[in-house]
């Protein structure tokens, strides 16, 4: 197996682009990643492109905007984990020796599908994500004594992290407070508007290569390796309940973390920053425990101490997470990779985690799947 590295990353800031095609968004992100790697499209051996909401062949059309070289192009789709699944496919292809340099691109324009509803046969079974996560939050409040203030503190942290990220969709001009989050309009109790991710458009990309190639292209920068890669779905157990199509059972995240540790020989104590699927803040709270960064039932105490804030024990959602950076769909998982690569290179600016050497990226996909990667600098 070849060792795999990420030689370049690129993004188009998430937001609203009514006058820009999704192909142009993807092209901007892909060219940024190629430029970051010091490559051109003619150097690329294969492309994996992911999108959720766009019509079939959108990915191929977007790649044509970059160049026509006869390169293999494959679409990947795995709900919110689509971008992360693209990285997984590239990782397997490069580690298996099939390709040397692979471009991965995530793209979507969620604003173009606003207002669409499930077809009539499926409508009676639909539960909106806000309602699902609100039920998850109220259950946690009942079982663990979680307070709205705990949720608001996570949201405020992520909004303020987003203010330091030039690629974040939400960039508040003033510091966001717990009180401000709690006063925001209610979506589904206890979740306010500021505890939920926005809709938007955007693209993100990365160049995945053999480690030896990345070292040749590094130009003095630290090489960021993929230390471990996981893709899993839920499994049946006695008493199994399907908890909804949004994120599936908690065990998927526990299994993902265990697999990352087994592959890498590392553990939670070796990780310096974490990105998670925080479409609603209750998710991030749960993942503190499910990924092994605190024991079951300890998340609230960790929040109160600031364990997962900038300067804390293990900062989470350093770029603002889905809450602030945004969540267009297809590119979200690759936005996590963009942030983590910059953190490990030491180029994250005012949000830089001191001495960051290992980062975990975790994404869930409705259906339900979990994709997770462990990245580390040499």
CATH (domain of 24): 3.40.47.10
C-alpha separations of 324 from 11, 150, 159, 167, 211 in Å: 15, 17, 5, 10, 32
Q: Is 323 part of any domain?
A: no
CB hemisphere CA count around 272 (13 angstroms): 16
In the block, residue with structure tokens 């998982």 = 333
Q: Taking the CA atoms of the chain, what radius of gyration do you get in angstroms?
A: 19
Residue (of 363, 168, 355) closest to 277 by Cα position: 363
Q: Is 211 part of any domain?
A: yes
Q: Is 24 part of any domain?
A: yes
pLDDT digit of tens for each residue in the chain (378 aa)? 899 999 999 999 999 999 999 999 999 999 999 999 999 999 999 999 999 999 999 999 999 999 999 999 999 999 999 999 999 999 999 999 999 999 999 999 999 887 565 555 554 456 678 888 999 899 999 999 999 999 999 999 999 999 999 999 999 999 999 999 999 999 999 999 999 999 999 999 999 999 999 999 999 999 999 999 999 998 887 766 655 556 677 889 999 999 999 999 999 999 999 999 999 999 999 999 999 999 999 999 999 999 999 999 999 999 999 999 999 999 999 999 999 999 999 999 999 999 999 999 999 998 789 999 999 998
CB-based contacts of 115: which residues, under 8 Å, 6+ apart?
Answer: none
CA dist., res. 185 & res. 188, Å (int): 9
Q: What pLDDT is recorded for position 248?
A: 72
Q: What pLDDT is recorded for position 123?
A: 47
Q: Is 137 part of any domain?
A: no
Phi, psi of 46 (to 5 degrees): -165, 160
Domain enclosing residue 100, as ranges: 4-112+199-217
Phi, psi of 58 (to 5 degrees): -60, -40
Q: Is 49 part of any domain?
A: yes
Locate 69 and state its tokens: 């070289």
CB hemisphere CA count around 296 (13 angstroms): 6
Q: Is 132 part of any domain?
A: no
Q: Is 363 part of any domain?
A: no
Count of structural domains, the chain: 1
Alpha carbon of residue 280 to chain centroid: 13
Q: Is 210 part of any domain?
A: yes
CB-based contacts of 353: which residues, under 8 Å, 6+ apart?
Answer: 272, 273, 310, 315, 318, 343
Strand 73-76, strand 46-50: pairing: parallel
Locate 300 and state its tokens: 């609230």
CB count, 10 Å around CB of 122? 9
CB 173 within 8 A of CB 54: no
Q: What pLDDT is recorded for position 378?
A: 86
């Amino acid at each position: 197996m070849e060792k795999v590295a990420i030689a370049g990353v690129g993004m188009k800031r998430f937001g609203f682009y009514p006058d820009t095609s999704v192909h142009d968004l993807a092209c901007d992100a892909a060219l940024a990643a190629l430029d970051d790697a010091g490559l051109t499209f003619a150097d690329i051996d294969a492309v994996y492109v992911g999108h959720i909401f766009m019509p079939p062949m959108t990915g191929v059309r977007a790649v044509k905007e970059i160049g026509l070289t006869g390169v293999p192009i494959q679409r990947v789709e795995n709900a919110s984990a689509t971008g992360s699944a693209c990285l997984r496919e590239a990782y397997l292809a490069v580690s298996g020796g099939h390709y040397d340099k692979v471009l991965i691109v995530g793209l979507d324009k969620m604003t173009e599908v606003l207002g669409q509803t499930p077809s009539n046969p499926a409508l009676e079974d639909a539960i909106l994500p806000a309602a699902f996560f609100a039920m998850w939050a109220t259950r946690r409040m009942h079982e663990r004594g979680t307070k709205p203030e705990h949720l608001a503190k996570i949201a405020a942290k992520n909004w303020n992290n987003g203010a330091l990220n030039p690629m974040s969709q939400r960039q508040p001009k003033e510091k966001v407070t717990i009180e401000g989050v709690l006063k925001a309009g209610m979506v589904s109790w206890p979740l306010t508007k500021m505890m939920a991710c926005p809709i938007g458009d955007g693209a993100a990309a990365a160049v995945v290569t053999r480690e030896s190639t990345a070292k040749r292209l590094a130009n003095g920068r630290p090489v960021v390796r993929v230390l471990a890669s996981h893709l899993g779905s839920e499994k049946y157990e006695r008493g199994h309940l399907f908890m909804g199509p949004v994120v599936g059972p908690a065990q998927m995240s526990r299994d993902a973390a265990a697999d990352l540790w087994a592959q890498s020989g590392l553990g939670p104590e070796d990780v310096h920053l974490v990105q998670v699927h925080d479409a609603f803040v209750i998710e991030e709270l749960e993942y503190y425990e499910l990924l092994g960064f605190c024991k079951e039932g300890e998340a609230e105490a960790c929040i109160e101490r600031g364990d997962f804030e900038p300067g804390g024990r293990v900062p989470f959602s350093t770029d603002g997470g889905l809450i602030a950076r945004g969540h267009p769909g297809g590119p979200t998982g690759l936005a996590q990779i963009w942030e983590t690569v910059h953190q490990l290179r030491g180029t994250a600016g005012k949000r830089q985690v001191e001495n960051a050497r290992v980062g975990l990226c975790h994404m869930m996909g409705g259906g339900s799947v979990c994709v997770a990667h462990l990245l580390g600098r040499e």
